[in-house]
Amino acid sequence: MLPLAPEGYPFIVIPALAGIVVFAFGFSGLAATMWLVALFCVAFFRDPARISDAPVEVIVAPADGTVLSVGSAPAALAALGLPQQVSIFMSPANVHVNRAPISGTVREARVVAGSKFPAYRDKASELNEHSFVVLDGALGTVAYKQIAGSLARRVVCDLAPGRGVTRCQRVGLIKFGSRVDLFLPASAAVLTAPRQRTRAGVTEVARFHRIES
């Protein structure tokens, strides 16, 4: 059976049942549309198992999608010691479950209300509804934002301050199209580039400088 994110069940069950009801009343065309919506939601909310066996210093992608840009982070993030930014755009066809880029402890986790600009636009990172999570790991600190887009209606963040996470662990999702920005320290070596495809919890996007004992 295809693993599904629990958040998707209402979006799957409601149109599927509605299709059965309208079919019973003879509206076969409308019923087919309802069932297609349900199938789309099954595909959208799929939650495949992921495992990372990369070395401990590797930072993995927090999202499935395509790298939109690699560059400098906003001043507020640079002030936190995270001056590098990798943005991953998630189309409706991508898996939308997000995963922890490193193992560590949640220093900060919050969801900020905002606008619904297209997720690929630069101002979406600051003005759209988003989560902001800071993770302190054994080799360094990273942060990420789950950013809602013009179709995405809600960010789901499963984390809270003080909670421990393991790299590749499921940490939330964004409903119906979105973007994730990953913020890195200056010492981290970025391993990705624009237009690269990523898989959450698997693709190596950066690497901490590991100090050998």
Please spell the DSSP secondary structure of 31-76, one letter per residue: HHHHHHHHHHHHHHTB-------S-TTEEE-SSSEEEEEEEEPPHH
Give the pLDDT confidence score for residue 106 in this predicted structure: 97
Annotated domain spans of the chain: 6-44, 58-207
CB 54 within 8 A of CB 156: no
Give the residue-averaged pLDDT of 190-205: 96
Question: Tokens representing 37?
Answer: 């919506």
Note the pLDDT tens digit of each residue in 81-128: 999 999 999 888 888 899 999 999 999 999 887 666 665 566 566 667
Find tokens 């995270």 and name the residue.
82
Q: Which residues are catalytic?
A: 178
Q: Which residues pair with 97 in a beta bridge?
A: 173
CA distances from 180 to 25, 92, 120, 208 (A): 44, 14, 10, 20
CA torsion through residues 177, 61, 103, 147, sign: negative
Give the mean model confidence (pLDDT) for residues 46-66: 92
Q: Is the pLDDT of residue 42 over 50?
A: yes
Looking at every residue in the chain, the average pLDDT score rounds to 87
Strand order, beta sheet including 189-190 = 58-60, 204-207, 189-190
Q: Which fold has domain 58-207?
A: Glucose Permease (Domain IIA) (2.70.70)
Place of tokens 């599927």: 16
191's tokens: 């391993």
**Percent of all residues in the chain with a pLDDT value above 90, rounded to a whole number:** 55
Confidence of residue 213 (pLDDT cuts 50, 70, 90): very low
Confidence (pTM): 0.84
What's the longest Cα–Cα distance across the chain?
73
For the chain, how many helices (H) and strands (E)?
A: 4, 14
